[in-house]
Amino acid sequence: MAADSNNTILVDGERIDLRNRTLAAFLAWLVPGAGHFYQRRYTKASLFMVCILSTWILGFALGGGHVVYASWASGDKRWHYFLQAGVGGAALPALIQVNRMKKATDPVSGQTAKQYEPLWGGFMAPPLRPVRESQADEVSAWYARRGAGYEMGTWYTVIAGLLNILVIYDAYGGPLSVPISGRKKEPKEDADSADEDAKEEST
C-alpha cells in the first residue's frame, strides 16, 4: 500500500482518496459503513453495513432487547458493552437507559425505585438492581425466557462491535494489506524478480 499524499493511497492498483480521515473514522464508528460512504468507497461501505448491521440485528432477534445494555454495578459488570459499543450509534440508547436507572437507584441500598420505568419498553435497559447471582433476578429471568438465545445474541452483538473496529481502521488508514506469509524473499536477479512480479500481479 503506497501513499503519495497524506490522504490518498494506492491499493490493488486503485487510488483511494481517504478525504478527512478523522471524520471518516468517526462516521465509521457512528454507523458501520458510513465512513466508507463518505469516502465514496461505495462497494465496501455497503458490504460492511450489511454484514455488521445484520449480525447486530440477528443478535437482537436471538436474545431480545436486553443483549445490549450498559452496567457496571456490583454483581453485574457488563464488560460485553465495551465491545458492543464498537458499533457506535446503535449502542448509544443503552447509555441513556443506564443513566436514567442510576438516577432511580438508591446509592446506599443499591435498590432501584419501584416506580422506575425504563424507556422504550425496556429496550437496552439494564436489569433492575440489585443483581445477585445467588438469587433470582431480572438477568436470570432473561436467560430463562430466551435460553441459549440470550447468550448467542450477546456474542453476535459483541462480534459486530469488534468487526466495526476493523472497519474504523480501514476508514482511517485504508486496507491493512499485510502478506499472509511472514517469510522474506531472497533478492534475485533482475530477470527472475521481474518474472515473479508479473506472476503475482496476474494472480
Partner 1 sequence: MLPISPTYLLYYLPLIIAIALVFGGTRHENTQLILHHAWQTGRWITSFMGVIFVVICVLDWML
Residues interacting with partner 1, by CB under 8 A? 11-14, 16, 41, 43-44, 47-48, 51-52, 54-55, 58, 62, 148, 152, 156, 159-160, 163, 166-167, 169-170, 174-178
Q: At 72, give phi and psi (nearest 5°).
A: -135, 35
Q: Which is nearer to partner 1, 76 or 170 (CB)?
A: 170
Closest separation in Å from C-beta 201 to partner 1: 12
Q: Which is nearer to partner 1, 136 or 178 (CB)?
A: 178
Closest separation in Å from C-beta 5 to partner 1: 17
Alpha helices in 32-147 (DSSP H): 34-38, 42-63, 80-84, 93-103, 138-146
Q: Which is nearer to partner 1, 94 or 167 (CB)?
A: 167
Closest separation in Å from C-beta 9 to partner 1: 9
Closest separation in Å from C-beta 48 to partner 1: 6
Q: What is the DSSP letter of 74?
A: T
Q: How far apart are CA 111 and CA 143, in angstroms?
A: 21
Q: Which is nearer to partner 1, 67 or 101 (CB)?
A: 67
Q: Which residues of 148-184 are buried (b: 16+ CB within 10 A; e: fewer)?
A: ebbebbbbbbbbbbebbeebbebbbebeeeeeeeeee
